[in-house]
C-alpha cells in the first residue's frame, strides 16, 4: 500500500456514503468530507413535525497521526468492523468515543454485524439494526 492515508480516506468515504440515501420526510442526511483536515461526518438535519429542530451527528470519523479515530457512531452499525473488512489494519483504528481505560478491551473484542435469521423476526420495538435503514428507523422512533 503506497499511501495508506489515501486508502483510509477512500474506505471511510465509501462507508459513510451508504448513509446518504437515508433521507426521510422530515430530515436529510448531509455528508461532510474534508480531506485537508481529514475529518468526515454524517449529519441528520431537518425539522420534526415542523417545530423540533434536528441537527444530529450520526457518525464522525477523523484520521489523526495515521490512525482512523471514530469520534462518534450514533448508529448500531459496527463501522470499525466494516473498515477492518475493507483492509484497514485493526491496530490503525481507534474507538475515540470509548474512554481510554476501556479502549484496549473494546478493540480486542470487535462487534459483529448482527445477522438476522430468516426464520426469526426482530422483537417488536427492538432497535436492533443490521442496515443503515434500520438505524434510521430506530433514530426517528426515539424522536417521536
Q: Which residues contact 46 (CB under 8 A, 6 or more apart)?
A: 24, 26, 27, 28, 54
Share of the chain above pLDDT 70, in %: 72
| pLDDT, position 56 | 96
pLDDT score of 18 more than 80: yes
Output the domain CATH number for residue 51: 3.30.310.110
> Domain range spanning residue 78?
4-143
Question: pLDDT tens digit string along 84-125?
Answer: 999 999 999 998 888 888 777 766 666 655 554 444 333 344
Sign of CA dihedral 16, 75, 44, 137: positive
pLDDT grade for 130, boundaries at 50, 70 and 90? very low
What DSSP letter does each residue of 87-99 carry, written as one string?
T--GGGEEETTS-
What total of structural domains would you count in the chain? 1
| pLDDT, position 137 | 54
Question: pLDDT tens digit string along 37-85?
Answer: 999 999 999 998 888 999 999 999 999 999 999 999 999 999 999 999 9
* Angle between helices 79-86 and 4-17 in degrees, nearest 10: 130
| pLDDT, position 21 | 92
Rounded-to-integer distance, Cα 34 and Cα 39, Å: 5
Q: Which residues contact 41 (CB under 8 A, 6 or more apart)?
A: 16, 30, 31, 32, 33, 57, 58, 59, 60, 61
Rounded-to-integer distance, Cα 9 and Cα 33, Å: 9
Do residues 97 and 73 lie in contact, with contact meaning Cβ atoms separated by under 8 Å? Answer: yes
| pLDDT, position 118 | 40
Rounded-to-integer distance, Cα 30 and Cα 58, Å: 10
pTM, to two decimals = 0.73
Amino acid at each position: 500500500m503506497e499511501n495508506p492515508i489515501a486508502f483510509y480516506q477512500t474506505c471511510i468515504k465509501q462507508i459513510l456514503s451508504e448513509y446518504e440515501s437515508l433521507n426521510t420526510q422530515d430530515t436529510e442526511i448531509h455528508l461532510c468530507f474534508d480531506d485537508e483536515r481529514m475529518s468526515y461526518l454524517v449529519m441528520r438535519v431537518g425539522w420534526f413535525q415542523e417545530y423540533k429542530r434536528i441537527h444530529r451527528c450520526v457518525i464522525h470519523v477523523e484520521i489523526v497521526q495515521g490512525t482512523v479515530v471514530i469520534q462518534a457512531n450514533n448508529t448500531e452499525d459496527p463501522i470499525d468492523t466494516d473498515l477492518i473488512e475493507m483492509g484497514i489494519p485493526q491496530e490503525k483504528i481507534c474507538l475515540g468515543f470509548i474512554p481510554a481505560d476501556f479502549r484496549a478491551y473494546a478493540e480486542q473484542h470487535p462487534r459483529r454485524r448482527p445477522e438476522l435469521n430468516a426464520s426469526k423476526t426482530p422483537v417488536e420495538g427492538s432497535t436492533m439494526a443490521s442496515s443503515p435503514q434500520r438505524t434510521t428507523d430506530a433514530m426517528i422512533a426515539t424522536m417521536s
